[in-house]
Structure 1
């Protein structure tokens, strides 16, 4: 066992794990009113979770740990990591912004007090089995049944109880963004409000395998009409009351960051194009009722079902899937 620890510790870290080589070192002063600054900080805090787990796996501690600069550089402190109860891996972290620091513009209303961040899948022996099982749960819309999601919800509620929600962020990448999205949707339905930064969130819909554009549009419109008819027949339209979960969710506008070269998240582009098109042809109400019909199926609600988002599409060239899906 001791020999294994030594071997792990001597394994060189990749350049992507070192903040001063691959992090946004240009952000020597954070302007919280600047969307690009907020995006970069959120991504760095997610990357910090990845490196926390890599540090754990490589037994890098104290001065050898590579994770701290990913949050220290922006004047955050790590309150505690979130540990999976199945494989003991670090899958998330709770950060607190330090008060009265010189690097941050605290006159801005957009600065968070707390950020709860979640990593995605790590293809290493320590984590691969557990992470891939959760990836499958995402595809099957069963992520809400996992203990990792339950731990995430507990963490968010613990912070909400202390700080309220006006200055709490959620952030995640890939599987971590799926957890953030699911947590954000559910706390929103409970009447809370959190800001969310979701990088390459998985889109759980089989229609993405269809390449022909007009056929895909036709299927989307037909599906909306059928679902709206079912919702009307069941009387689901009554759930559109002002204090209902659907109305509350309509006020939540997370930030989504997707890459068209990444098949895992690119479905959001067509998803929101369809919603926009339905509004243009005066069928927005039909689409909202159709979405309501799906949202009320709480046991199998598709993860990607959200009503609004600030969607950022990465149009830079991606040489391969790994680059397109990575949090760079």
Structure 2
């Protein structure tokens, strides 16, 4: 009996672990997890940009944000952070081992707001703001010229079990209707963009997105532009493929064939004259509202919303943006397009020039901060952008005021 009691006591002592040993084991576990996260493929130092430095006191004189490559890179990093915010949420990461903050902290920004999809609780967007305290710690006394006070970043489709259903729903919405206005994400993104624009001023705010997120960024930016609020907009691999666009293209081609057929038929002398008069009247009215809306053409650019598009010809999702506008035009349409030229060319289209690439590489976000990237600024009109921005310039006829020339 005594022997059994001694064995039982010995076993109980073994089961009762030393608190010091427990603490050391926990620290070792945390260290092991931290080491694993340190080498995570999405860690900033692993897959982030190599040649981008954080703001420093020299930026007080010559801001890095004035460099278009730097700006594009940093904004793309903010979008990557939104993808990682959702992955951090799904993988239950804590503040100590979260991946997302490393993608905004080096640039002296902080997380101000996360946008949550009420349907599944997923994070689809975030607002990052200039972190004055972090900047002051590195002797950056003021915000560098060109650096936005706030950036609304929107992620694209995330093929994970917790988010794929709602992401695909919005993908199909765009595919069917070429519009995302019915989505709860559109409403949330628009409210967030209006909020920060009202707080900081539209000239100090930027909206950006990748893939599906670029579709949302384009449409919320356009919605504000219709209200006369022009926000700096950057769209990476924006979706361009839709059934609505395909059907519209078929209709346009049918219209061209019909016009050619009509032109072959003998017409009375009155019909062409009437048509010419109608065309001239239309062009005159067009020139009137262009002049009324824009005033002096030398100041056109400063009065327009000019989104920046970054596309890759090997990416079939966004490659339609590189289709040139007005390949076949009648003389009347050429005259009309001359009047619209300054209105329609309202986007900067940058095309990746790396030759043929696999789809996943061509559609990826990482390419936009890679060291070996080569961009070309497309100078031709984008047919798709002209169509999407057309409603911005379809203004009502100006009201004539007595004593004033229009």
Match of 1:256 among 295, 298, 309: 309
Q: Does the 8 A contact of 1:92 with 1:117 survive in 2?
A: yes
1:133, distance to aligned residue in structure 2 (A): 0.5
Residues in 1 aligned to 2:89 and 2:69: alpha-carbon distance in whole angstroms: 30
Relative to the length of structure 2, the TM-score reads 0.62
Q: Which residue of 2 aligns with 1:166?
A: 203
| 1:93 matched to 2:126 | yes
May I ask how many residue pairs the two structures share in their alignment?
291
Once the two structures are superposed, the pairs formed by residues 1-16 of structure 1 within 5 Å of their partners are: 15-16=40-41
Structure 1 residues 208, 261: CA separation in 2 closer, same or farther (over 3 Å shift)? farther
Q: 1:279 to 1:325 in 2, by over 3 A?
A: farther
Q: In the alignment, what sits opposite 1:285?
A: 336
Q: Which whole-Å CA distance do the structure 1 matches of 2:131 and 2:327 have between them? A: 40
CA distance, structure 2, for counterparts of residue 311 and residue 176 of structure 1: 17
Change (3 A) 1:321 1:15: farther
SS in 2 for 1:257: strand
What does residue 161 of structure 2 align with?
125
Q: What displacement does 1:26 show?
A: 2.3
Name the SS of the counterpart of 1:68 in structure 2.
helix
CA-CA distance at 1:164 after TM superposition: 1.3
Residues 70-112 of structure 1: CA distance to partner in whole angstroms, max 9, x if unpaired?
Answer: 0001110000111001111000000101234448795753210
- Report the equivalent of 1:269: 322
Tell me: CA distance 1:250–1:280, structure 2 relative to 1, closer, same or farther (3 Å): farther
TM-score normalised by the chain length of structure 1: 0.76
The offset of 1:64, in angstroms, is 1.4
Structure 1 or 2, whichever has the larger Rg, is: 2
Map of 1:326 onto structure 2: 364
Between Structure 1 and Structure 2, the one with more helix by share is: 2
Structure 1, gaps ≥5 residues long? 1-8, 210-214, 293-305
Runs (5+) with no aligned partner, structure 2: 1-32, 56-63, 261-277, 295-299, 367-406
Map 1:29-44 onto structure 2 (within 5 A): 29-30=54-55, 31-44=64-77
Contact 1:250 1:308 in 2 (8 A): no
Q: CA offsets, 1:90-148, max 9 Å, x none? A: 00000101234448795753210000000000001100010001011112223101111
For 1:196 and 1:153, how far apart are their aligned partners in 2? 13
Shift of 1:285: 2.7
Question: Contact 2:156 / 2:211 at 8 angstroms: preserved in 1?
Answer: yes
Contact 1:116 1:156 in 2 (8 A): yes
Shift in alpha-carbon separation, 1:308–1:159, aligned structure 2, 3 A: same
Map 1:153-302 to 2 at 5 A: 153-204=190-241, 219=253, 222=256, 242-243=292-293, 251-270=304-323, 273-274=324-325, 283=334, 285-286=336-337
